[in-house]
Amino acid sequence: MNEYDSELVRSILLKKKFRFVENESNADIIMLNTCSVRENANRKIIGLIHKIRHDLKGKPVLIGILGCMAADKKEELLTTKNLGVDFIAGPDSYKKLPNLIEEVQKTKLKTFDYALSDTETYSDIYPTREDGINAWVAISRGCNNFCTYCIVPYVRGRERSRDFNGIVKEIKKLAKEGYPQVTLLGQNVNSYKDGKKDFPDLINEISKINGIKRIHFMSPHPKDFPDKLIKVIANNPKSIKHVHLPLQAGSSRILKKMNRTYTKQGYLKLAEKIRAACPGIAITTDIIVGFPSETEKDFKDTVDVVKKTRFDAAFIFKYSPRSGTVATKKYKDDVSPDKKTERIVKLNELQKEISHENNQKLIGTTQEVLIEFIDRKKEAGNFCGRTKTNKTVSFKAKDCAPKQFVNVKIKSASAFGLKGDLVI
């Protein structure tokens, strides 16, 4: 989402007097588009700002903080001693950036805008993209779910969907520019709604566009997964055969405290249903370990869901309290750091084994691969791409190029990807 937002910002600024430079040592203004979802992300940004200021050695360069951290930390970012931030703009304030920057340049005073909007969708801005293979397209912004651990609703505001026709028009333009793939983005992408049109309708409509060959989306919430959506994923040939289905926790007790609105059984059933409708589909997930009061028994439920669902990959995080959230206000962060580490290590090991086993099953199969890039680090002629299930594949070939679709016979597999031979 931040990559997409940076493309919006680029487009907004390029329309004015600004231009972008390759190397930050040539910049008059440096902006960081930030994430606040975990404390670690915040810490990294603060470290990076200090490093940038240090490397600038007193050169009068303006530093701006964009995105969630601006909405989370607000003026604190401007008043922290020695941080040297000149302006901040929250996720709904990007159209004001040219004015904000001009103001700082003129007045030499720090400035900010982090007000959240109920309506801003940037539908009128066509992002300046760089990657020629996959185009990110946000179809909604904000979130209404208020999972108790999550800062997103507080820093990105209420959920609002972009207009259906505007999205389709943008993707038609992307197809003309030669993008073979789009990834539809939303914090809760599958709750998309514009009048009577819903998320499955949107996938179906986009699939009619010539030139668009693959449609990805992130991240769906398990609570908004009707049979209509499962059918579209399974039957629409352009839909990616991969679902990122955030679990967060396996224990129904913890899920309730997280306000996820599904149970362990509900999640398992949904995953089974998806697999039954679309054999071979990849399912990946997000998991938080060490949510307040998580016991060994609760953790065993998470392990159980991981074993039963046999995810293709899992992004596992240690719970970190976020300011303003219900969990921070109501629950004590009482799982010790050591316990969190123990649980994350255990789950990562288990997941690695499962990913490896899942990938090994693909040895001997032929996969349709969209070539993404030439791996120049290795010897010449090494290409990397993705299967329709979003798994990475590397293979050797002559006369191939990024954006091309090729068939690759899988010869070996690790937990992280596949290797194969080009089928001619």
Alpha-carbon distance of 6 to 1, in angstroms, equals 9
Contact partner, 153, from ligand SF4, ligand SAH, none, Cβ < 5-8 Å per class: ligand SF4
Output 216 or 322, the one with its CB closest to ligand SAH.
322
Pairing of strands 282-289, 313-318: parallel
Interface region with ligand SF4, contact rule CB under 6 A, candidates 117-125, 146-154, 300-308, 380-388: 146-154
Please enumerate in sequence order all residues whose Cβ is within 8 A of that of 377, keeping only pairs 6 or more positions apart, or say none. none
Phi, psi angle pair for 409, to nearest 5°: -90, 125
Find the shortest distance in angstroms from Cβ 145 to ligand SF4: 4
Shorter beta-carbon distance to ligand SF4: residue 97 or 152: 152
Cα separation values, 39 from 146, 203, 285, 300, 318, Å? 18, 34, 20, 26, 10
Task: Report 165-224 residues binding ligand SF4 (CB under 6 A).
Answer: 187-188, 221
Smallest separation (angstroms) from ligand SAH to the CB of 142: 10
Closest CB 221 distance from ligand SF4, rounded Å? 5
Nearest to ligand SF4 of 174, 270 (CB atom): 270
Assess 145 for contact with ligand SF4 (CB under 6 A): yes
Within 10 Å of residue 424's Cβ, how many Cβ atoms? Answer: 6
Distance CA 15, CA 38 (A): 33
User: Which partner from the list ligand SF4, ligand SAH, none does 146 bind, CB cut-off 5 to 8 Å by kind?
Assistant: ligand SF4
Q: Which stretch binds ligand SF4 (CB under 6 A): 12-20, 144-152, 177-185, 384-392?
A: 144-152
**Contact status: 143 vs ligand SF4 (CB under 6 A):** yes
150 binds ligand SF4 (CB under 6 A): yes
> How far apart are CB 331 and ligand SAH at their closest, in Å?
11
Measured CA to CA, the distance from residue 358 to residue 63 in angstroms comes to 45
Rule CB under 6 A: is residue 242 a binding residue for ligand SF4?
A: no
Q: Is 9 in the site for ligand SF4 (CB under 6 A)?
A: no
Are 288 and 317 in contact, with CB atoms under 8 Å apart? yes
36 contacts 69 by C-beta, under 8 angstroms: yes
Q: What share of the chain is helix, strand, coil (3-state, %, to 5)?
A: 40, 20, 40
Nearest-angstrom CA–CA distance, 321 and 335: 12
Report the distance separating Cα 168 and Cα 174, nearest Å.
Answer: 10
Output 37 or 168, the one with its CB closest to ligand SAH. Answer: 37
Q: Which does 38 bind (CB under 5 to 8 A by kind): ligand SF4, ligand SAH, none?
A: ligand SAH
Q: Under the rule (CB under 6 A), what is the footprint of ligand SF4?
A: 143, 145-147, 150, 152-153, 187-188, 221
